[in-house]
Amino acid sequence: MNILYKDFKNEPILDFSKEENRKKVFEALNKIKKNLNREILPLISGSRAQSINPADPQEIIATVSECDEKLTQKALEEAEKKFYSWAHTPVKKRAAILKKTAQVLRNKKYDLIALEILECGKQWMEADGDICEAIDFLEFYAQEMEILEEPRKLGGEPGQNNLYVYKPKGVGVVISPWNFPIAIPVGMIAAALVTGNCVLFKPSGESSACAFEIVKAFEEAGLPQGVLQFLPGKGSVIGKYLAKHPKIHFIAFTGSKEVGLEIIEAAAQTQESQHHVKKVIAEMGGKNAVIVDADADLDEAITGVLQGAFGYQGQKCSATSRVIVLQDNYEKFIERLKEAALSIKIAQAEDPGSFVGPVISKKAQEKIKQYIEIGKKESTLLVEREVPQKGFFVSPTIFIDVKPNHTIAQEEIFGPVLAVMKAENFDEALKIANGTRFALTGAVFSRSPKNIEKAVKDFDVGNLYINQKSTGAQVARQPFGGFKLSGVGSKAGGPDYLLQFMNPKTITEKTMRQGFSPETI
């Protein structure tokens, strides 16, 4: 079996046990706090919104000028003007800009970590991991496009030459979330740019300051003006307008299932002036399950479940939200899970020891609390902790005796809420795990080769983990993405991701000529 990308090296994470690294993060945090409420502009100033610290809503990280439809249309027109020249820019030059952008992010790593901590409530290691992933996307897609650039020769009859090549689609939209505020948008933008497309970038309002740093990084790396347009604003205004626009060729989206399906529906409506079918690349979330087998190593299982469920407050599409435990292990598992959950530290993300910090917004906090109240009516509460009153904190919450049809076992909550269920055998556990509309990530803790083989064949998820947590996919190692209502298209950080941003073209030439036309000689 050939090993793909065995020579690709993922960006190393920082070691925060070293005093030097901790000192640099604290210095970066202090620097941002001295320059709060910075102004962030799109191409032209529009209405304004604020990006705040979810651990301290009185701290305004940035005031963001928002775009409306008129400004968005102007940005689209500018991108159209730039498309031809960018599409015909040599691949090596486009790839070089991605690699230079990766270096810019490396140089600014501590400042970006601090910004993610303050704007998005990311813990130190979570923020570092996000920036490492962004760097990986840039390096990997640059490498991939240099491979795809080469025309592939196909078979044919004598006197005929057949080639297979790729061409960029056109002007597209990148709509990114706040939970991976640098990695996810960088990945989508990098894929679109290196394949020769122009991009209109609409970031989440909760992470506009991080998004602005992305645009600055590409500019510093030498990206020509107008190829990447920065359009902060309301998704209900900009997102809907662009999804329906006849001049948009593709939409790369990561976010909720509800918004993703709206975009897919809008993009499917072909207008009279439209000369193409829009491509939608969408990742839309999950309701991810972990199966704990009767012979599982509970030390590993407890650690994996806690990290998967409560890492970054459960605000990951890959987060563990369901645990299905075989009955032989059920009582031991919930007893140990309870003690472990009671020991984790709840604090603002600036605290390097924080395990659970604030959720992203007041709206998110209220929604998660509503699900917790539903869970109390449906099942049995195992863990609920006291949390700081200042900021948008939600307790890491665990329910047991949850049934597969319960609300908290079916709907994506996007917060630190975990549903624990019991299964009589491994087949029933698999049936429960597959019993949602999502198919993103899943994990199995087991020592049984037979049950592991069953999971490999029948656990319907895009990313399956054996004896490790359901989060933490790395570029080129675990290409990321799911199916069912978790997403459409192929996997980010994988061998076929860039293909979604291009059109394949076959060129057939008859090589047996009757001489050449004189004017061409």
Max Cα-Cα span within the chain: 88
Residue 45: pLDDT band with limits 50, 70, 90:
very low
Active site residue 67: no
Q: What span, in angstroms and rounded, lies between the C-alpha atoms of 460 and 288?
A: 11
DSSP reduced 3-state for 296: coil
Set 66, 119, 206, 283: catalytic member? 283
Give Cα separations from 497 to 305, 314, 424, 505 (angstroms): 29, 26, 39, 17
Question: What is each CA distance from 178 to 130, 173, 517, in whole angstroms?
Answer: 11, 16, 59
Instruction: Give CA–CA dist 317/319, Å, rounded.
Output: 6
Whether 473 is covered by a domain: the verdict is: no
34 in the same domain as 139: yes
Query: Would the pLDDT of 37 be above 50?
Result: yes
Do 66 and 147 fall within a single domain? yes
DSSP reduced 3-state for 138: helix
CB distance 8 to 476 below 8 Å? yes
160-201 tens-digit pLDDT: 999 999 999 999 999 999 999 999 999 999 999 999 999 999
Note whether 254 and 360 are same-domain residues: no
Provide the pLDDT confidence category of residue 517 given band limits of 50, 70 and 90: low
pLDDT of 100 above 50 = yes
Q: Is 120 a catalytic residue?
A: no
Residue 89 structure tokens? 């820019």
- Same domain, yes or no: 405 and 452: yes
CA nearest neighbour of 202 among 251, 264, 247: 251
State the pLDDT at residue 332.
97
Task: Tell me: do 232 and 325 sit in the same domain.
Answer: no
Catalytic residue among 67, 132, 198, 317: 317
Same domain, 308 and 209: no
Residue 515 has what pLDDT? 62
Whether residue 358 sits in one domain with residue 318: yes
Residue 203 maps to a domain: yes
Pairing of the two strands 47-53 and 56-66: antiparallel
Q: Is residue 462 located within the same domain as residue 492?
A: no
Residue 97 sits in a domain of what CATH number?
A: 3.40.605.10
Same domain, yes or no: 32 and 112: yes
pLDDT for res 139: 98
Return the closest-CA partner of residue 11 out of 145, 114, 134, 183: 134
What Rg value do the Cα atoms of the chain yield, rounded?
Answer: 24
Residue 254 is inside which H or E element, if any? strand 250-254
Residue 476 lies in a domain: no
DSSP state for residue 278 in the 8-state scheme: P
> How does pLDDT run across 306-353, given as a tens digit for each residue?
999 999 999 999 999 999 999 999 999 999 999 999 999 999 999 999
Q: Which of 14, 366, 45, 375 is nearest to 231 (CA)?
A: 45
Alpha carbon distance 174, 142 (integer Å): 18
How many angstroms from the chain centroid is the CA of residue 154?
A: 36
Q: Residues 236-293: pLDDT tens digits?
A: 889 889 999 999 999 999 999 999 999 999 999 999 999 999 999 999 999 999 999 9
Backbone angles phi, psi at 274, to 5 degrees: -90, 130
Structure tokens at 188: 């989508």
Q: Is 204 a domain residue?
A: yes
The whole-angstrom separation of Cα 397 and Cα 19 is: 33
417 located within any domain: yes
- Of the chain, the end-to-end C-alpha distance in Å amounts to 49
- Are 376 and 453 contained in the same domain? yes
Domain count for the chain, please give it.
2
C-alpha distances out from residue 218 to 74, 96, 180, 402, 405, Å: 21, 11, 18, 47, 47
Structure tokens at 465: 């983990």
Q: Which domain holds residue 335?
A: 288-466
Q: What's the rounded mean pLDDT across residues 134-138?
A: 98
Q: Are residues 279 and 361 in the same domain?
A: no
CATH number of domain containing 338: 3.40.309.10
Give CA–CA dist 20/410, Å, rounded: 45
Same domain, 353 and 275: no
Separation of alpha carbons 417 and 396, rounded Å: 6
468, 304 in Cβ contact below 8 A?
Answer: yes
| 104 has a pLDDT exceeding 90 | yes
Mean pLDDT to the nearest integer, 489-504: 95
Q: Could you tell me if residue 511 is inside a domain? A: no
Mean of pLDDT values over 89-97: 98
Residue pLDDT, tens place only, 356-400: 999 999 999 999 999 999 999 999 999 999 999 999 999 999 999
Does residue 395 belong to any structural domain of this protein?
A: yes
Q: So what's the pLDDT on residue 44? A: 45
In a domain? residue 474? no
Q: Residues 117-134: what's their mean pLDDT?
A: 98
Q: Does 467 have pLDDT greater than 70?
A: yes
**Which of 219-228, 234-243, 429-438 has the weakest average pLDDT?**
234-243
Residue 392: per-residue pLDDT: 98
